[in-house]
Amino acid sequence: MSKVVKFGGSSLADATQFKKVYEIIKADQDRRYVVPSAPGKRFSDDTKVTDLLYQAYNAKNDKEMLKVFDLIEERYQDIIEGLSLTISLEEDYKEMKESFSKKIGIDYAASRGEYLNGKLLASYLGFEFIDAAEVIFIDEHGNYDIEKTDPVLSQRLKEVECAVIPGFYGSLNDGSQTIKAFSRGGSDVTGSIVAKNGKVDVYENWTDVSGFLMADPRIVDNPDVIETITYKELRELSYMGASVLHENSVFPVRNEGIPINIKNTNKPLDPGTLIVESTCHKPSHVITGIAGRQGFATVMIEKDMMNSEVGFGRKVLQVFEEHHISFEHMPSGIDTMTIVVNTHDFIDKEQDILAGIHRAVQPDSIELESDLSLIAVVGRGMKASRGTAARVFNALAKENINIKMIDQGSSELNIIIGVRNCYFEQAIKAIYGEFC
């Protein structure tokens, strides 16, 4: 049995949190590979180390840069003294200051928080330190290079019993050894890549919440924790705004059948949420979770006999493609077709797109509506339960909330509902109250 354990910034914000992490790792000898983030906030008005690094790198001059660097060094020195470590980071600071002055790259600057934290954690645990730049390779777009990374990383992990590999960054895959950060997902992605190449049994992702919640706690008071969730359900909820784990971090381990366990550093005995490929475990509720996003617009196209016009949908979507606009959903009727788009992306190009649609398909009319929110009701339990949609609609009707759009995939894994932005939170509360 072996595990990868990834710790977020709040889990490693200071010496006290480091001690909690130490106890967690030492409590289970299977926790062999550790992926740390940079120190996060110690309190609400605090500044993350990564943000301080950005400030230092973007400073107007060396004097201003060194002033911010004093704060960075102070953060790490507090951790060193709090843990009674003998390690010195002076050489690293010297190299960083020289590199910052030369402006060698913003990704290099941002990555140093994880790099330094990794060195401290490795020293504290007595584990080997592996610089992610030596074993993880990233393309110019910030994506994980599988073909170059996997043989190097898997071989390196075979050579060590226990190791700390900093999250968030690697090196550019062109052989230049230039530091490159992941475009999205950061340390979560690193943990997933290490889990895949270490051929571990479980990827534990430690954060400041006890698992994946059924709804946003800023909207619903004390929502239940999801005990087990499938990757498909996670994908749906992450896409619609749930943010405990970035969706990009799922793919490396999903393809290997490695489960992810979301755990709470401050409550290590809580079971957390287990994310798996598939499961026979029945969920506690018919639905697994509810998530949503605001700020969408609809473009409703109407034309008689639309259904008999071959290529109609392709021509319409091509207009959006030509203007670099992706669509979110596309509910349709016999003579109507509705395209749901992100308002922010669409609004500056709306007139050009309308003109393009008129030229492409000669519609009878086009109607625009904005101020739309999309809410996803997700759950593998819906497939075996009758009347789920009716319960959702009834819950909204009781609150006098009008449904502007309905979309359900053939997988029966989710129901997408569109409501006015002003009803967004009220709708989520109503649906949650119906099922939980």
How far, in Å, are 9, 22, 109, 138, 171 from residue 174 at the CA level? 30, 36, 20, 9, 9
Rg (alpha carbons) of the chain, rounded to whole number: 25
Q: Which of 109, 122, 127, 211 is nearest to 168 (CA)?
A: 109
Cα 414 from chain centroid?
Answer: 20
Helix spans in 293-349 (H): 312-322, 343-346
pLDDT in tens, 240-262: 777 667 767 888 898 899 999 99
Give the strand pairing for 336-342 and 327-329.
antiparallel
Q: How confident is residue 278, by pLDDT bands cut at 50, 70 and 90?
A: confident
For the chain, domain boundaries: 3-276, 289-435
Tell me the C-alpha distance between 325 and 434, whole Å.
36
pLDDT of residue 174: 92
pLDDT of residue 247: 67
Asked if 5 and 33 touch (Cβ cutoff 8 Å), the reply is yes
Tell me the C-alpha distance between 4 and 158, whole Å.
14
The pTM score is 0.85
Q: What is the mean pLDDT of residues 400-415?
A: 85
For domain 3-276, which architecture applies? 3-Layer(aba) Sandwich (3.40)
pLDDT of residue 58: 96
Give the strand pairing for 128-129 and 163-164.
parallel
pLDDT of residue 434: 95
pLDDT in tens, 103-136: 999 999 999 999 999 999 999 999 999 999 999 9
Average model confidence (pLDDT) across the chain: 93
pLDDT of residue 244: 66
The letter for the amino acid at 112 is R
pLDDT of residue 148: 97
Q: Which CATH number fits domain 289-435: 1.10.260.40, 3.90.320.10, 3.30.830.10, 3.30.2130.10?
A: 3.30.2130.10
Tell which wins on pLDDT, 212 or 18.
Answer: 18
pLDDT of residue 165: 98
Q: Is the pLDDT of residue 84 over 70?
A: yes
Tell me the C-alpha distance between 54 and 68, whole Å.
10
Q: How confident is residue 280, by pLDDT bands cut at 50, 70 and 90?
A: confident
Q: How confident is residue 145, by pLDDT bands cut at 50, 70 and 90?
A: very high
Tell me the C-alpha distance between 434 and 417, whole Å.
15
The letter for the amino acid at 300 is M
Read off φ and ψ for residue 23, nearest 5 degrees.
Answer: -65, -40
pLDDT of residue 129: 98
Q: How confident is residue 139, by pLDDT bands cut at 50, 70 and 90?
A: very high
